[in-house]
């Protein structure tokens, strides 16, 4: 059964949406609009989804909204007490899970700002304009202006975060993925879907060779290292050295058991004078390299996007300028106060969002990325044209992202089977 997802709404100075399936609904706390605090994350525990920046706050288990209509999830006890006793909470949830008026406005929630009904005024869930006023450290920008893609369009969400270095807490779990150690969010941009959305997964493999002499040497060295590891005194080391010599001779005898003695002599003679090709010249043979394709490591995915902006008015031209500045500024290398060291630029989280508000079920997920290239074309139409205020009539923006961590098998095990996965 398909889920019905409401628009964003404000409640208790926090931003939420509901996800209704059948006769129950989940109340989801989202970081879009009102940022999720660290205290909320700590209280939520397993209910916090770092990738989506969401908390499953509670579950409405009775859509008739009887006395015990709601069950606790990752919310605090104080919030739950209000959800049970405060009629404003129940009224808000009724509207969010109903078939009409899913957006909660300032007339239905006393004391709250306007919710996510932004088509006319282009406000975020804080009730503040996303395209005017002084720039904020945590900004929300959306192109095109005065369009609410959450109601009828798919779109791409790009959020910038401060880079959080790895602390190597312990030997095993110290190498945490970047998605598991996200820093503070510094801004979000909502962009329309463009052509060329694709992804390529890959794993690095390389040719490996091992002839019989390599194998003999490996087995000899392996035995020697084992013996030396056991030794604790000078006498022990001497015995280990003798055993190594004996093992080496034994390996060569085993080798000679199935090979003509003249071939062995010819091979080592060529090696001794520095011209191994003489063995092939004299015998017409080469040692079998036992060629095999071997796994050499994971590879990191790259994502490239090209956006075309055509401002239709002055406010939209200013919006495009802010979006371009957003990417260029957050990819810039930082310095510490002493200017002796360079610091990692901010990193980016990319997400394809379906028109209902959730993650797109038929497009891939993306791990935390670095923006490695940002190219701006100020006259993509081929001619230099500006409006009266100097803004360009069109802009082209090309972005190249690179995932910070590879995709592992365990990443596929975290999600369900009803989406595209990575």
pLDDT at 174: 55
Q: What share of the chain has pLDDT > 90, as a percent?
A: 34
* CA dist., res. 187 & res. 160, Å (int): 5
Is the CB of residue 84 less than 8 Å from the CB of residue 74?
Answer: no
* CA dist., res. 147 & res. 118, Å (int): 8
Q: What is the largest CA-CA distance in the chain?
A: 98
For the stretch 227-239, pLDDT in tens is: 655 555 555 555 5
For the stretch 11-24, pLDDT in tens is: 888 999 999 988 88
Position 240 confidence tier, pLDDT thresholds 50, 70, 90: low
B/e letters for 228-249, b = 16+ CB within 10 Å, e = fewer, are eeeeeeeeeeeebeeebeebbe
The helix (run of H) or strand (run of E) holding residue 43 is helix 38-44
Per the prediction, the chain carries an average pLDDT of 79
Residue scoring higher pLDDT (319 or 181): 319
> Would the CA dihedral through 284, 286, 292, 294 be positive or negative?
negative
pLDDT at 123: 39
């Amino acid at each position: 059964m398909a889920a019905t997802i409401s628009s964003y709404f404000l409640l208790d100075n926090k931003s939420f949406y509901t996800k209704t399936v059948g006769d129950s609904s989940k109340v989801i706390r989202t970081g879009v609009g009102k940022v999720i605090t660290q205290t909320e994350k700590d209280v939520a525990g397993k209910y916090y989804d770092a990738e989506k920046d969401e908390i499953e706050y509670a579950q409405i288990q009775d859509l008739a909204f009887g006395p015990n209509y709601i069950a606790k999830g990752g919310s605090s006890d104080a919030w739950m007490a209000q959800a049970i006793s405060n009629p404003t909470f129940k009224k808000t949830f009724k509207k969010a899970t109903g078939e009409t008026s899913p957006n909660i406005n300032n007339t239905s929630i006393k004391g709250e700002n306007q919710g996510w009904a932004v088509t006319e005024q282009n406000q975020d869930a804080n009730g503040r304009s996303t395209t005017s006023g002084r720039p904020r450290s945590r900004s929300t920008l959306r192109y095109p202006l005065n369009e609410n893609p959450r109601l009828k369009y798919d779109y791409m969400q790009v959020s910038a975060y401060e880079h959080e270095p790895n602390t190597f807490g312990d030997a095993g779990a110290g190498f945490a993925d970047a998605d598991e150690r996200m820093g503070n969010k510094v801004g979000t941009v909502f962009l329309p879907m463009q052509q060329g959305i694709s992804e390529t997964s890959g794993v690095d493999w390389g040719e490996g060779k091992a002839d019989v002499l390599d194998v003999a040497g490996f087995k000899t060295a392996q035995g020697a290292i084992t013996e030396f590891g056991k030794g604790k005194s000078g006498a022990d080391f001497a015995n280990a050295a003798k055993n190594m010599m004996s093992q080496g001779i034994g390996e060569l005898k085993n080798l000679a058991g199935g090979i003509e003695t003249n071939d062995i002599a010819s091979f080592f003679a060529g090696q001794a004078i520095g011209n191994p090709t003489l063995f092939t010249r004299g015998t017409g043979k080469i040692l079998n390299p036992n060629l095999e394709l071997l796994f050499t490591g994971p590879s990191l995915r790259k994502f490239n996007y090209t956006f075309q902006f055509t401002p239709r008015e002055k406010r939209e031209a200013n919006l495009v300028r802010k979006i371009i500045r957003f990417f260029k500024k957050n990819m810039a290398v930082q310095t510490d106060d002493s200017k002796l060291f360079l610091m990692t630029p901010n990193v980016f989280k990319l997400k394809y969002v379906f028109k209902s508000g959730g993650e797109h079920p038929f497009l891939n997920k993306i791990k935390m990325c670095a923006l490695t290239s940002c190219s701006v074309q100020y006259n993509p139409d081929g001619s230099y044209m500006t409006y009266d205020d100097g803004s360009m009539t069109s802009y082209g923006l090309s972005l190249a992202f690179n995932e910070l961590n590879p995709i592992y098998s365990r990443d596929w095990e975290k999600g369900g089977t009803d989406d595209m996965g990575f």
